[in-house]
Amino acid sequence: MSSTSLKCCINPSILSADFVNLQAELARIANADAVHVDVMDNRFVPNLTIGLPVVERIQQVSPVPLDAHLMIADVDRWAPLYADAGLDSVTFHVEASDAPIKLARELRARGAKAGMALRPATAVEPYLDMLPELDMLLIMTVEPGFGGQAFLDVTLPKIRRARAAIEGSGVNVAIQVDGGITEETITRAAEAGANIFVAGSAVYGKESPEAAIDALRARGQLAFASRV
């Protein structure tokens, strides 16, 4: 599939939402393409959020599909359980997986899209042969663990190389970016070839999250379509 037919998506991260009022916070982003759920275990990253029971409940009440980002150790054991919960996509960190090909296949077999994430300093080249096993490649644009960090421009060449490899091999793999996405940085990320944008503070930090989503999507679409 050519990249021009890829959809630009805005997936707000509930890391920046009010965790005591998650259902109401989900209703504020009803025009999003999916909700990005950050699972952290204080082992893979130095922060702790929510786990499977809470994610299962969010899945039951969310008006939009769930996009889980698992920043956890022992991910080969845990990720399939998130797929079993009916999530739209489940993303694991390659640095945390012992058998990423087996895991990606397991996620798909359980009905979820398979996503694989790379920390900012993890090169994409060793994993290019794996692209047909994936539905989504998540290129982290901050060090995982916390919202509100500044976008790392040093990741842009990696996004470009990943998009070129995807186009070269003719596979249908989305490129997601996560961390520091704003109305300003989304343009650079989209021009480099990203088409799914996670935004925490740039959505939930605004008075109208819905308006922020529309504005981000418009900018992302424009920049992605104008790539040369």
Residues contributing to the site for ligand DX5 (CB under 6 A): 13, 15-16, 36, 38, 69, 142, 144-149, 178-181, 198-202
Q: Give the one entry of Zn ion, ligand DX5, none that residue 201 binds, where binding means its C-beta sits below a cut-off of 5 to 8 angstroms depending on kind.
A: ligand DX5
CB of residue 178 to Zn ion, shortest distance in Å = 4
- The residues annotated as belonging to the active site are 38, 178
DSSP state for residue 32 in the 8-state scheme: S
Query: Which among Zn ion, ligand DX5, none contacts residue 179 (Cβ within 5 to 8 A by kind)?
Result: ligand DX5
- Shortest reach from residue 13's CB to Zn ion, in Å: 6
Q: Which of 178, 188, 192, 202 binds Zn ion (CB under 5 A)?
A: 178
Contact partner at residue 55 from Zn ion, ligand DX5, none, CB < 5 to 8 Å by partner kind = none
Q: 142 or 165: whose CB is closer to ligand DX5?
A: 142
Instruction: Give 114's contacts (C-beta < 8 A, 6+ positions apart).
Output: 89, 90, 103, 104, 105, 107, 108, 133, 134, 135, 136
Q: Which residue has the closest beta carbon to Zn ion?
A: 69
H helix intervals, 115-184: 156-169
Long-range pairs of 4-8 with CB within 8 A, sequence gap ≥ 24: 4/225, 6/172, 6/174, 6/195, 6/224, 7/33, 7/195, 8/190, 8/195, 8/196, 8/197, 8/217, 8/220, 8/221, 8/224
Alpha-carbon span 104 to 108, nearest angstrom: 6
**Least distance to ligand DX5, CB of residue 162, Å:** 18
Interface positions with Zn ion (CB under 5 A): 38, 69, 178
